[in-house]
Amino acid sequence: MKIKTYMISLFVTAAISTSASVIAKEPVQPISPVKDINLAQVELGKKLFFDPRLSKSGFISCNSCHNLSMGGTDNIKTSIGHNWQQGPINSPTVLNSSHNIAQFWDGRAADLKEQAGGPIENPGEMASTHTLAIDILQSIPGYVTEFQQVFGSNKIDIDKVTQAIAEFEKTLVTPNSRFDKWLLGDKNAINKTELAGYNLFKQAGCTACHYGEALGGTSFQKMGLIKPYKTTNKAVGLAGVTGKDADRFKFKVPTLRNVEMTYPYFHDGEAATLTEAVDIMGKLQLGKQFTKSENTQIVAFLKTLTGEQPSFTLPILPPSVDKTPKPTPFN
Amino acid sequence: MKIKTYMISLFVTAAISTSASVIAKEPVQPISPVKDINLAQVELGKKLFFDPRLSKSGFISCNSCHNLSMGGTDNIKTSIGHNWQQGPINSPTVLNSSHNIAQFWDGRAADLKEQAGGPIENPGEMASTHTLAIDILQSIPGYVTEFQQVFGSNKIDIDKVTQAIAEFEKTLVTPNSRFDKWLLGDKNAINKTELAGYNLFKQAGCTACHYGEALGGTSFQKMGLIKPYKTTNKAVGLAGVTGKDADRFKFKVPTLRNVEMTYPYFHDGEAATLTEAVDIMGKLQLGKQFTKSENTQIVAFLKTLTGEQPSFTLPILPPSVDKTPKPTPFN
């Protein structure tokens, strides 16, 4: 992984230096490769990300709703939580999430580390408690040894757990999309329709919010800016965090990286297809009715944003022992 | 993977030829490496094994209950199915399952391929139908291309789906356990306590059922042979398949390979620990009360049966497209 990362890093650096002038003009930049990563924490965090013992049931892991086989999402309108509870909001992708200004749709967590602690003790998600989760991990010799190796202490706590998960999540970047290759100078990396879509995407004003490396994730915007968005979903967005009425229905602008894989769309998951999402965004956010042809072009462009998905060996989890608290899925 | 398999194969073959006389005397044999595998089918089957779109909810995959991070089980007494239904029986491990005489606890499927079709359309498990699952796969261009490459036909059907899943499952063998190394001549691979446990395991009669490469999986035996087994679990075992009253409570003898990872134990999952499982087996199947020391020795031996877990890259699933039937988790 280290070698691969370095190779990507060298490649991108070289490419950027030769076409810096091209990139500088664009509102979108190639996604940065991961760097300054603690690989020992990453390996531990990967196990924790896949470990359903962090949930009350022993059945739900981080990967259940941020499935790394499926664009870091669950591809369901709103997620399934403990006891099959219907979640209140669409699971945002964990891919490239280190680029986000804050975490969750309403930004209530400052960073990945703070985010990671949330679902574990959310009664509608993993429905455990930090205390129980730590008791479980602390009982497992394989974890105790690894925490000792990684953090120099065999005393497991939620701070170390979320630190390791966040460090793993930082590695989940998706470089080398066809669009990034185009940005870096490979003019054949995207076709005419896709390029027309990108130009339209800029001209129409989409890049006012969907800009930068992640094409989003860097600001909060009102859902339904020009025309109101109609939904039965009860999420109020940023207002729930700031308490300000002006922040009602302001949500973090989602990244458009890998958007082909992160369906369905919007905070309520009510847009099933990219065609639908582009149409609604045009009308509600930009006051624009895209023609069928324009919509097709923009959707074609959006599909060039699918990058290399994280590639790693499925982690093998250290087994529980006799004293490990048992999962209680049905009570 | 191919290279690795060959290397293991050469290693085992060489080792067997030098210590064939030792192995021949033992009721347990080293687990065979996987061979005669269609690697293209394996790669496709791996994707299908991890694909929750085979379930009605879009949330449950084969890997949900046969989690390859956790010994090929879910480590829950009885599994969680669609809509959080409590399953009727403990999920058996998929590891080394190609060695089983038949599949499921009651043997109602002749082989892995037949088994793979069951949970997809079981209303208490993935709750889909074969028709819907095939409609979904057939709508996904990435799958259509891969089925074409693998089977020479882009017409997806349940026969090809289960064939590919079964082929992947055949690769899930766990060679090179410490006990296998001992069997192959490395006398330091297990310690005195573990060896004493193995000798006791043989002397006490455990090997009457738990013999061969998988230490089980090759016969059906009555649960509660000497003394009746008390359980509230309603499974009747082989009788449900044969209709014979004599087969009531006969279950397929589970493999003991990786048993340290496949807790809890028995068809009802009611034995939480190996200590408890060994104690109950002694009493009910052999009419023997193991002393605490004997129990400890046998458990120590059983933990030497943990082999190398399957090592592979997490598959990335081809995304659904607009026409793909949507998951319906909540209705």
The shortest C-alpha distance from A33 to chain B (Å) reads 20
Determine, for residues B275 and A322 on separate chains, whether the beta-carbon distance falls below 8 Å.
yes
A84 inside domain: yes
Do A286 and A187 share a structural domain?
A: yes
CA of B51: which chain A residue's CA is closest? A69
Q: Are A119 and A125 in contact (CB under 8 A)?
A: yes
Considering only CA atoms, which of A290, A285, A306, A300 is closest in space to residue A219?
A285
Dump strand ranges (E) for A31-126.
none
Provide the pLDDT confidence category of residue B143 given band limits of 50, 70 and 90.
very high
Residue with the two structure tokens 């003394």: B227
B309 contact A CB<8A: yes
Domain check: are A124 and A143 in the same one? yes
The encoded tokens of residue B171 equal: 């690769």
Q: Are residues A222 and A147 in the same domain?
A: no
Residue finishing a domain among B170, B189, B221: B170
Q: Give the pLDDT score at A8.
A: 41
> With bands split at pLDDT 50, 70 and 90, how would you rate the model's confidence at B141?
very high
Which residues of A fall within a CB distance of 8 Å from B86? 329-330
Lowest mean pLDDT among A32-41, A295-304, B272-281: A32-41
Q: What are phi and psi of A222, to 5 degrees?
A: -75, 130
A246 in any annotated domain: yes
Residue A22 pLDDT > 50, yes or no? yes
Give A205 to chain B, closest Cα distance, Å: 25
Q: How many CB atoms lie within 10 A of CB A296?
A: 16
A328 touches chain B (CB under 8 A): no
Give the gap in angstroms from C-alpha A20 to the nearest C-alpha of chain B: 32
Task: Decide if A59 and B68 are in contact by the 8 Å CB cutoff.
Answer: no
Same domain, A93 and A186: no
Structural domain includes residue A114 = yes
Residues A68, B314: C-beta atoms closer than 8 Å: yes
What would the pLDDT profile of A199-229 be if each residue is shown by its tens digit?
999 999 999 999 999 999 999 999 999 999 9
> Using an 8 Å Cβ cutoff, are B209 and B221 in contact?
yes
The total of structural domains in chain B comes to 2
State the Cα–Cα distance between residues A308 and B110, nearest whole angstrom.
40
Place of tokens 């949930």: A55
Give yes or no: residues B153 and B209 share one domain.
no
Domain boundary among the residues B170, B201, B234 is at B170
The 8-class DSSP code of residue A304 comes to G
Residues B205 and B251 in one domain: yes
Our CA-based measurement puts residue A261 at a distance from the nearest CA of chain B, in whole angstroms, of: 6
Q: Tell me if chain B has a CB within 8 Å of the CB of A139.
A: no
Confidence of residue B148 (pLDDT cuts 50, 70, 90): very high
DSSP-based three-state secondary structure for B249: coil
Higher pLDDT: B212 or B6? It is B212
B13 in reach of chain A (CB within 8 A):
no
Q: Are residues A205 and A292 in the same domain?
A: yes
A292-302 and A274-286 helices, crossing angle to 10°:
110
Q: Rounded to two decimals, what is the model's pTM?
A: 0.93
Question: What span, in angstroms and rounded, lies between the C-alpha atoms of B147 and A258?
Answer: 24
pLDDT band, residue A25 (cuts 50/70/90): confident
Backbone φ, ψ for residue B271 (5° rounding)? -95, 110
Q: Which structural domain, as residue segments, surrounds residue A127?
A: 31-170
Option in A69, A275, A320 nearest B75 (CB): A320
* Same domain? A149 vs A42: yes
Question: Does pLDDT of B10 surpass 60?
Answer: no
Q: What CATH number should be reported for the domain holding residue B70? A: 1.10.760.10
Tokens representing residue B238 in the block = 């082989």
**B52-71 tens-digit pLDDT:** 999 999 999 999 999 999 99
Chain B positions touching A304 (Cβ under 8 A) are none
Answer yes or no: is pLDDT of B2 > 50.
no
**B263-317 tens-digit pLDDT:** 999 999 999 999 999 999 999 999 999 999 999 999 999 999 999 999 999 999 9
Q: Are residues B150 and B277 in the same domain?
A: no
Beta-carbon contacts of B10 under 8 Å, excluding residues fewer than 6 positions away, are: none
- Picking from B136, B152, B170, the residue at the C-terminal end of a domain is B170
In a domain, B51, yes or no: yes
Q: Which amino acid is at A118?
A: G
Same domain, A219 and A291: yes
Both A164 and A260 in one domain: the answer is no
Same domain, residue pair B42 and B166: yes
